[in-house]
Chains A and B, each alone.
Chain A
């Protein structure tokens, strides 16, 4: 009886003091498939840190590059890469799939508002 009470107290204390969702940063998904980016336009709240989950569902390698946000990353076929962005001012930020930048579908826009 005493032991289970102690266990209950310890578990409650642990639950109370451990923030369960400490790092809840909004994550947005982006798909790159052989030069086709979807969605081509992302609307993300400005002034807050956010993450982009970039999935390459194509057969060719892709390189996400957003010069205005100073981020770039190569994503191999079948893989998913996560990029963290710090809080940024509102505006429109162009990004491309560098390996397919010659295609009109290889460009996208991140709109922060």
Chain B
């Protein structure tokens, strides 16, 4: 039964991180073009998508029997990763200090473009793991009878509440920490998450034969943290950690972080110069 709690919590964790961070950001930076309605709209759409996708897999398993599901999941994970990166860039641009310099034109256009991006990002964050959770809850819950069913429901609810706790911790952090500190930490968390999604995407492409692994299982750190274990699996899905990474995966991950540092340390200065000249 503890497994039920853990699975519900784990599958909700990623979505809760994204929703929690974005919620804290939007609260601290009220914007005409982008608002909490986009966030909750994305959540609602994501829940619908998760139920729809989960339901489709439950009842039309044959439709998803082949590689169709693989392609679909690959698309979702890559798009989600790209949207997180876009969101981080947007938040840097519209951060508290620079906001008053970006009035009218620039801000509005940045706002509408990211409105759809925000909704899509949240939708994907919820639907990706949500669909698996729907299948798990329905497929496993159905097998329970009487008292077991109640216990199952209680454990699932507890797992969900733990995930909601993550959300509240992030809101609390947004209030307690200085904006700059909170921004840096949450931005870092989102970048790590985007990196993890990139790793998933590359892995799927390797498995489909679209990308060459170069060298499989470069090393094995399963003795330190086994990504097949519960904790290890959670770390793996949130950070992109792999106990036996291929050379390609390592190169992609290294390039990703190099690019992040290059882009983000470069962007800050030019924007400020443009703003002060305007």
Contact surface of A with B, Cβ cutoff 8 Å = 34, 58-61, 63, 65, 67-71, 73-77, 79-82, 84-86, 88-89, 91, 94, 96, 98-102, 107
Determine if A76 and B230 form an interchain contact, defined as CB atoms under 8 angstroms apart: no
Complex Cα distance, B136 from A80, in Å, reads 16
Which single residue of chain B is at the shortest CB-CB distance from A49?
B209
Out of A70, A71, A74, A88, which one reaches B135, CB within 8 Å? A74
CB <8 Å contact, A59 and B206: no
Q: Is the CB of B2 within 8 A of A102?
A: yes
Lowest 8 A-B CB distances belong to which pairs? A61-B139, A59-B143, A79-B61, A60-B140, A70-B207, A70-B203, A102-B3, A60-B143
In the complex, A77 Cα to B203 Cα: how many Å? 27
Tally of chain B residues near chain A (CB < 8 A): 36
Known: A67-B243, A68-B244, A86-B209. A102 touches B61 (CB 8 A): no
Contacts of A61 in B (CB 8 A): 135-136, 138-140
A101 and B230 in contact (CB under 8 A), knowing A68-B244, A76-B139? yes
Interchain CB contact under 8 A, B139 and A60: yes
Cβ of B140 to closest chain A Cβ, rounded Å:
4
In the bound complex, residues from chain A placing their C-beta under 8 Å from that of B216 are 88-89
Minimal beta-carbon separation of B201 from chain A (angstroms): 11
Q: What is the chain B residue whose CB lies nearest that of A71?
A: B207
Secondary structure at the B interface, as helix, strand, loop or mixed, is helix
Contacts of A100 in B (CB 8 A): 3
Contact with A along B172-213 (1 / 0, CB 8 A): 000000000000000000000000000000011011110000
CB-based contact B143/A77 at 8 Å: yes
A63 to B57, CA, bound (A): 13
B243 — nearest CB in chain A belongs to which residue?
A67
Determine if A76 and B143 form an interchain contact, defined as CB atoms under 8 angstroms apart: no
* B163 contacts partner chain A, Cβ-Cβ < 8 Å: no
Are B61 and A81 within 8 A (Cβ)?
Answer: yes
Given contacts A34-B143, A74-B132, A81-B61, contact A67 B242 (CB under 8 A): yes
In the complex, what residue of chain A is closest to B220 when comparing beta carbons?
A68
Interfacial chain B residues near A88, Cβ < 8 Å: 216
Q: What residues of chain A lie closer than 8 Å to B209, measured between beta carbons?
A: 86
B227 contact set on A, CB distance < 8 A: 67
8 additional contacts, CB 8 Å, given A89-B216, A101-B233?
Answer: A61-B135, A67-B244, A70-B203, A76-B57, A81-B65, A82-B65, A101-B229, A102-B230
CB distance from B185 to the nearest CB of A (A): 28
Contact B217 A99 (CB under 8 A): no
* Smallest beta-carbon distance B216→chain A, Å: 6
Q: Whose C-beta in chain A lies nearest to the C-beta of B246?
A: A70
Inter-chain contact B243/A73, CB cutoff 8 Å: no
In the complex, B58 has a CB within 8 A of chain A? yes
Near A by CB (< 8 A), chain B positions 43-80 give 57-58, 61, 65-67, 69
Q: Nearest Cβ in chain B — how far from A52, in angstroms?
A: 12
* Chain B residues whose CB sits within 8 angstroms of the CB of A80 once the complex forms: 65
B236 beta carbon closer than 8 Å to chain A: yes
Confirm or deny: B33 has a beta carbon within 8 angstroms of a beta carbon on chain A.
Answer: no
A58 CA / B229 CA spacing, docked (Å): 23
Q: Give the CA-CA distance A65 to B6 in the complex, in Å.
A: 17
Tell me the minimal C-beta distance from B247 to chain A in angstroms: 13
Residue B251, interface by CB 8 Å:
no
Indicate whether B274 reaches chain A with its CB closer than 8 angstroms: no
Given the contacts A60-B139, A99-B136, A73 and B217 also touching, CB distance less than 8 Å: no
B207 touches A77 (CB 8 A): no
Contact at B69–A73, with CB atoms within 8 Å? yes
Question: In this assembly, does B127 line the interface, its C-beta being within 8 Å of a C-beta of chain A?
Answer: no
Q: B135 to chain A: which residues have CB within 8 Å?
A: 61, 74, 76
